[in-house]
Chains A and B, each alone.
Chain A
Amino acid sequence: MKRIELKEITKRYPGCVANQSVELSVSAGEIHALLGENGAGKSTLMKIIYGVVKPDEGEMLWENQSIEVKGPAHARELGIGMVFQHFSLFETLTVAENIALSLPKAEAKSLDALKKRISDVSKRYGMQLDPNRYVHTLSIGEQQRVEIVRCLLQDVKLLILDEPTSVLTPQEVETLFKTLHQLSDEGCSILFISHKLDEVRALCDNATILRGGKVSGHCIPKDTTTDEIARLMVGDDTPLSEDYKKATGGEPYLTITNLSYKSEDPFATPLKDISFDVKAGEILGIAGVAGNGQEELLNLISGEETTTASCVKFAKKAVANLTPEKRRILGLGFVPEERLGRGAVPDMSLEENALLTGYQGELTNKGWINTTKVKAFAKQIIEQFNVKTAGSLAQAKSLSGGNLQKYIIGREILQNPKLLVCSHPTWGVDIGAAILIRHALIELRDQGAAILVVSEDIDELYAISDRVCAICDGELSPVAPTNEVTINQLGKWMAGDFSPSDTHSDTASAGPLANVGGLS
């Protein structure tokens, strides 16, 4: 039986076609992957199914009946559940209260009865969850469980998961996959959106691939190679393979010693006695699930927060009490996680954004802006980093995520930093742009810069970093050369288990996600 069928779905936005004549069909109990790069139209399609967005054209069949989904509430009545990439949870409410809000009134009458149901369901599917806890105290993985349990409580027939694994540790991914298999055995259909091909091959029965809003192909992931699927995703003209030589680096440039810090923000993670160094000419990668102290650590390195001077040193000079500006003069380049708002000012032009971090150099003279040089600098970034834009006067917010990221990274790299700190350098960036960014980072490393990369993308850290470690709940794991750390080991570190273990013995049995390299 077909659970859901989409026919000729088209959705246009001003200036772009998000979906063009998309066809999709999912049977009962099938795990179906929806693949595509960012901007390929996956999210729009999911929102159409869930009733958040109305299609301009096309027809939707639900269990062979033609229907029009009026809104999320209607979708849930039909038995469609959705786990968003950005969770739709309320942080100031408890788990049970969050779930109560999305259930029909009659079912949510007694909060105590509901708590029991939550415990039962979460046990049955192997997802531990305490209904009394406040959502803001949960890890990202646990928050995702709340979303899934919320769907499961409503007799779900089609579960949509939007990039569910991007925020999980490898071990959490395995637990999730077990749950999903159990669900599909019980007849629930699953639509799994991802761009991690290894996971799709491990989990899904069928796949539909989108490119530029159109269906570019179908395949059975188990019988198709990663490269073939990637080809369907990116088209013919993008190089796919990446292989970088590891470097050992020279003298330590950034040194962090016994850094403990508690920010004034009550939701921030306190840092506990962190020590590490980044050598000139190497890339150090810090893995970890978001919200484990990365942001706090980066704020202290960039100078957005200050503390006892000697905790952070640039080439032996104590800097932890200096402002960002003074640290930049010493040779710091910084690429923050949020592009719009912190990396770039959305309403300013690219030229003005170039000036924002480049003003200490030749771009200004005694406080006067040299507009010719600013224009030239902006154009240089656009050309060297292949930024697709209407011109150097375009507003930063008009660029797509990937292009803006290329621009921001280019702006920092072209100032020849001695230390470059990047947070999630390729998050939400498509494969082509990601490769360009990684190439640029490696090139900068080979010129002798110290580079610190914080990322949730483990494959990326394996591809580019020379040494790697993980951060969990404000504590840093041991630091080790990347090729000596197995993915299992790194996963344990990410989950907070820093005990020394069989680093070398379990290299071969690293699980379904271990074939790293090639493509992320």
Chain B
Amino acid sequence: MDIELITNILFATIRTGTPLILIALGEMVCEKSGVLNLGQEGMVLMGAVLGFIASVVTGHAGFGILAAIFAGMLMSVLFGFLAISLVSNQVATGLALTIFGIGLSAFLGAGYVGMAIDGITAWEIPYLSDIPIIGKILFSHDPLVYLSWGIFGLLFWCFKSTRLGLTIRAVGENPEAANAIGISVMKVRYGAVLFGGAMAGLAGGYLSIAYTPMWSEGMSAGRGWIALALVVFASWKAERILLGAYLFGAASIMHLVLQGLGFEASPNLLAMLPYAATIIVLVVLASDAVKTKLSTPLALGQPYRPQV
């Protein structure tokens, strides 16, 4: 393989990993507060379809992205109302949200299948993108890729050294105790769920406006589920989510490249590669049981009912 091929593979790796990072980081915050939202897939699709429609209608990709974020948040408000305010079962509610999102997005987008938009173009960072190889791999992407790095940095810092991060972790570990020291469990959990929704919507917008500027039914192709698994295998750590998502991206690209190079193996086996590689690496990383247990939100999935 020559340098150019490797550069292209790494460039594509980052593009492929980005939607996973966005979804998984959102879900990580949500789960850190103790709420398990299995509705990612539905929220991503709703973000994708509404983002695409808004782009078509306004002619601006930027409005499309905003609409996508808004759509994700709208879906998560619905989830929050059921799972937090009405204390419904989080697993069942999340699954319902996914099914609802898949159906509604297909219905709304039916008239837009096959349409083309301009999409978001790459923004080559001046000077940095001129660096040989690295410039092409890291600094010639569309703005949403840079945004995903920004959000990663922000969350990493937030959970490492801010009171907000502590508060979210506290609520996810022991909501009763958090309430007893005066933290509003409801507010924190709603905030986290909304953030998760916004991120999932953004990921949907990235898919339909930047990654492949078009709409097709079920275009998220299970990324919501993969991101959910990624969060768990990454032990709720932002840096491992980043690693896992890029690993998954790289393996996905590799399986295409290997096929293209005429590699002698069943394509079905090769298609397993991304899943197997990601899971193995993250499981090995998480083998220290004590550290993993420390980062696991203990109250995950448990509804919280305030005392009266």
Interface string of B173-212 (1 = CB under 8 A from A): 1101111111100000000000000000000000000000
Q: Quick one: closest B residue to A73, CB to CB? A: B182
Within 8 A of B (CB), among A71-126: 71-74, 76, 82, 84, 87-93, 97, 100-102, 105, 108, 111
Min CB distance B175 to A, Å, is: 10
Within 8 A of A (CB), among B153-171: 161, 163, 166-167, 169-170
- When distances are taken between beta carbons in the complex, the residues of chain B under 8 Å from A97 are 166
Q: Please state if B169 and A92 are interface contacts (CB–CB under 8 Å).
A: yes
- When distances are taken between beta carbons in the complex, the residues of chain A under 8 Å from B173 are 90-93
- A102 with B182, Cβ < 8 A, contacts A90-B169, A91-B173 known: yes
Is B289 close to A, CB under 8 A?
yes
Is A267 close to B, CB under 8 A?
yes
> In whole angstroms, how far apart are the Cα atoms of A50 and B167 in the complex?
21
> In whole angstroms, how far apart are the Cα atoms of A53 and B298 in the complex?
25
Is A359 close to B, CB under 8 A?
no
Q: Please state if A93 and B169 are interface contacts (CB–CB under 8 Å).
A: yes
- When distances are taken between beta carbons in the complex, the residues of chain A under 8 Å from B183 are 101
- A53 with B181, Cβ < 8 A, contacts A90-B173, A101-B166, A266-B293 known: no
Is B290 close to A, CB under 8 A?
yes
- A72 with B182, Cβ < 8 A, contacts A90-B170, A90-B174 known: yes
- When distances are taken between beta carbons in the complex, the residues of chain A under 8 Å from B290 are 266-267
Q: Please state if B170 and A101 are interface contacts (CB–CB under 8 Å).
A: yes
Q: Please state if A90 and B307 are interface contacts (CB–CB under 8 Å).
A: no
Is B308 close to A, CB under 8 A?
yes
Is B294 close to A, CB under 8 A?
yes
Partner among B161, B167, B174, B179 whose Cβ is within 8 Å of the Cβ of A72: B179
Q: Quick one: closest A residue to B292, CB to CB? A: A266
Is B295 close to A, CB under 8 A?
yes
> In whole angstroms, how far apart are the Cα atoms of A84 and B180 in the complex?
9
- When distances are taken between beta carbons in the complex, the residues of chain A under 8 Å from B298 are 91-92
Q: Please state if A88 and B177 are interface contacts (CB–CB under 8 Å).
A: yes
> In whole angstroms, how far apart are the Cα atoms of A100 and B164 in the complex?
11
> In whole angstroms, how far apart are the Cα atoms of A263 and B167 in the complex?
32
Partner among A50, A71, A88, A136 whose Cβ is within 8 Å of the Cβ of B176: A88
- When distances are taken between beta carbons in the complex, the residues of chain B under 8 Å from A134 are 294
> In whole angstroms, how far apart are the Cα atoms of A402 and B169 in the complex?
35
Min CB distance A81 to B, Å, is: 11
- A52 with B163, Cβ < 8 A, contacts A90-B170, A91-B173, A92-B169 known: no
- When distances are taken between beta carbons in the complex, the residues of chain B under 8 Å from A101 are 163, 166-167, 170, 178, 181, 183
Q: Please state if A267 and B293 are interface contacts (CB–CB under 8 Å).
A: yes
Is A54 close to B, CB under 8 A?
yes
Q: Please state if B179 and A90 are interface contacts (CB–CB under 8 Å).
A: no
Interface string of B15-50 (1 = CB under 8 A from A): 000000000000000000000000000000000000
Majority SS of interface residues in chain B? helix
> In whole angstroms, how far apart are the Cα atoms of A91 and B179 in the complex?
16
- When distances are taken between beta carbons in the complex, the residues of chain A under 8 Å from B295 are 92
Min CB distance B88 to A, Å, is: 20
Interface residues on A, range: 20 to 34
- A71 with B182, Cβ < 8 A, contacts A97-B166, A134-B294 known: yes
Q: Quick one: closest B residue to A94, CB to CB? A: B166
- When distances are taken between beta carbons in the complex, the residues of chain B under 8 Å from A92 are 169, 173, 294-295, 298
Min CB distance B49 to A, Å, is: 39
Min CB distance A266 to B, Å, is: 4
Interface string of A42-62 (1 = CB under 8 A from B): 000001001011100000000
Q: Please state if A72 and B289 are interface contacts (CB–CB under 8 Å).
A: no
Partner among B174, B178, B307 whose Cβ is within 8 Å of the Cβ of A52: B307
> In whole angstroms, how far apart are the Cα atoms of A73 and B182 in the complex?
4
Q: Please state if A72 and B181 are interface contacts (CB–CB under 8 Å).
A: yes
> In whole angstroms, how far apart are the Cα atoms of A53 and B183 in the complex?
15
- When distances are taken between beta carbons in the complex, the residues of chain A under 8 Å from B289 are 264, 266
Q: Please state if B166 and A100 are interface contacts (CB–CB under 8 Å).
A: yes
Min CB distance B293 to A, Å, is: 6
- A89 with B177, Cβ < 8 A, contacts A53-B308, A73-B182, A97-B166 known: yes
Q: Quick one: closest A residue to B161, CB to CB? A: A111
Q: Please state if B181 and A88 are interface contacts (CB–CB under 8 Å).
A: yes
> In whole angstroms, how far apart are the Cα atoms of A134 and B290 in the complex?
12
Min CB distance B268 to A, Å, is: 36
Q: Please state if B177 and A52 are interface contacts (CB–CB under 8 Å).
A: no
> In whole angstroms, how far apart are the Cα atoms of A91 and B293 in the complex?
10
> In whole angstroms, how far apart are the Cα atoms of A515 and B203 in the complex?
69
> In whole angstroms, how far apart are the Cα atoms of A91 and B173 in the complex?
8
Q: Quick one: closest B residue to A91, CB to CB? A: B173
Partner among B163, B177, B293 whose Cβ is within 8 Å of the Cβ of A90: B177
Min CB distance A18 to B, Å, is: 12
- When distances are taken between beta carbons in the complex, the residues of chain A under 8 Å from B293 are 266-267
Q: Quick one: closest A residue to B171, CB to CB? A: A90
Partner among A53, A84, A102 whose Cβ is within 8 Å of the Cβ of B307: A53
Q: Quick one: closest A residue to B165, CB to CB? A: A97
> In whole angstroms, how far apart are the Cα atoms of A82 and B308 in the complex?
18
Min CB distance B235 to A, Å, is: 12
> In whole angstroms, how far apart are the Cα atoms of A243 and B100 in the complex?
68
Q: Quick one: closest A residue to B295, CB to CB? A: A92
Interface string of B292-307 (1 = CB under 8 A from A): 0111001000000001
Q: Quick one: closest A residue to B177, CB to CB? A: A88
- When distances are taken between beta carbons in the complex, the residues of chain B under 8 Å from A52 are 179-180, 307
Partner among B163, B176, B178 whose Cβ is within 8 Å of the Cβ of A100: B163
- When distances are taken between beta carbons in the complex, the residues of chain A under 8 Å from B181 are 72-73, 76, 88, 101-102
The 6 closest A-B pairs by CB, nearest first: A73-B182, A88-B177, A102-B181, A266-B290, A88-B180, A266-B289
Write 17 A-B pairs (CB below 8 A) sorted by A numbering.
Answer: A73-B181, A73-B182, A88-B176, A88-B178, A90-B169, A90-B170, A91-B173, A91-B174, A91-B298, A92-B295, A92-B298, A93-B166, A93-B169, A101-B163, A101-B167, A108-B163, A111-B161
In addition to A54-B308, A136-B294, 6 A-B residue pairs with Cβ atoms within 8 Å of each other are A72-B179, A72-B180, A92-B295, A101-B166, A101-B170, A105-B163
B residues contacting A by CB (< 8 A) are 161, 163, 166-167, 169-170, 173-174, 176-183, 289-290, 293-295, 298, 307-308
A residues contacting B by CB (< 8 A) are 47, 50, 52-54, 71-74, 76, 82, 84, 87-93, 97, 100-102, 105, 108, 111, 134, 136, 264, 266-267
